[in-house]
Amino acid sequence: TQLLEQSPQFLSIQEGENLTVYCNSSSVFSSLQWYRQEPGEGPVLLVTVVTGGEVKKLKRLTFQFGDARKDSSLHITAAQPGDTGLYLCAGASGSGNTGKLIFGQGTTLQVKP
Amino acid sequence: DTAVSQTPKYLVTQMGNDKSIKCEQNLGHDTMYWYKQDSKKFLKIMFSYNNKELIINETVPNRFSPKSPDKAHLNLHINSLELGDSAVYFCASSQGGNGYTFGSGTRLTVV
């Protein structure tokens, strides 16, 4: 069974601080996706990383895929209250239209003004 | 335009009842999914359909029956509802397994 361990589960920080969320597995994934979910809504895709060692930036968010494609991290610089939400990593298992996403447990981030 | 829309948003029902959740996507994606999110926010796949064909059935009780009349629709029918079925159910779609687009969820409460 493929599992994704996401840490930390909860994070409460002050505006302006930096943070990193980790997503680890013993399995290799074809891609790793990060989502953000707000209360009462579905997850929204932030980024997909495909190549081992790949780094992608989305404004103050930096995503990295591990060299072995088993782990990933999300780093947020100078967090803002608007970054508050549930962050989910998801590994793509299988290929193309016959695959599925396996989700981590999620990280609930609260950024206080 | 809502890309993936599911109805109803909230569903409160008694144990033993039968209920359906509907999902439609206007993205032209080939694959649609049902995911269940528990009280701890953990998302787990239930079913996936590719062009109306069942691809994944993740050890879900037989009381759950998905139906895909065409590739833009994937409905979920649940028979004999149990307390443990209470959760948020998300419909999603993707093309080639790339980034999924999720609906806004249906919060099912069984009393």
Joined together, the tokens standing for residue A76 give: 């947020």
Alpha-carbon gap, residue A64 to A75, rounded angstroms: 9
Q: Quick check: B66 contacting A, CB < 8 Å?
A: no
- Residue A39 makes CB contacts below 8 A (sequence gap 6+) with none
Alpha-carbon gap, residue A37 to A91, rounded angstroms: 16
**Do residues A64 and A32 lie in contact, with contact meaning Cβ atoms separated by under 8 Å?**
no
Residue of A nearest to B105 (CA): A42
A30: left (phi over 0), alpha (psi -120 to 50) or beta: alpha
- Confidence at residue B97, expressed as pLDDT on a 0 to 100 scale: 75
Give the model confidence (pLDDT) of B12-26 as tens digits: 999 999 999 999 999
Higher pLDDT, A76 or B56: A76
- Confidence at residue B96, expressed as pLDDT on a 0 to 100 scale: 79
| pLDDT per 10-residue tile (average), chain B, 111 residues | 92 98 96 95 94 87 94 96 97 89 97 97
**Chain pair A-B, CB pairs under 8 angstroms:** 67
Higher pLDDT, A98 or B64: B64
- Confidence at residue B109, expressed as pLDDT on a 0 to 100 scale: 98
- Confidence at residue A7, expressed as pLDDT on a 0 to 100 scale: 96
Distance from CA of B54 to the nearest CA of A (A): 10
Residue A3: CB atoms within 10 Å: 12
Give the model confidence (pLDDT) of A7-19 as tens digits: 999 999 999 999 9
Residues forming a β-bridge with A74: A21, A63
Beta pairing class for A55-58 and A61-65? antiparallel
Higher pLDDT, B28 or A2: B28
Beta pairing class for A107-112 and A10-14? parallel
Identity of the residue numbered A17: E
Q: Quick check: B64 contacting A, CB < 8 Å?
A: no
Alpha-carbon gap, residue B6 to B109, rounded angstroms: 16
Tell me: pLDDT of A2 over 90.
no
Residue A87: CB atoms within 10 Å: 24
Give the model confidence (pLDDT) of A19-74 as tens digits: 999 999 999 998 999 999 999 999 999 999 999 999 999 999 999 999 999 999 99
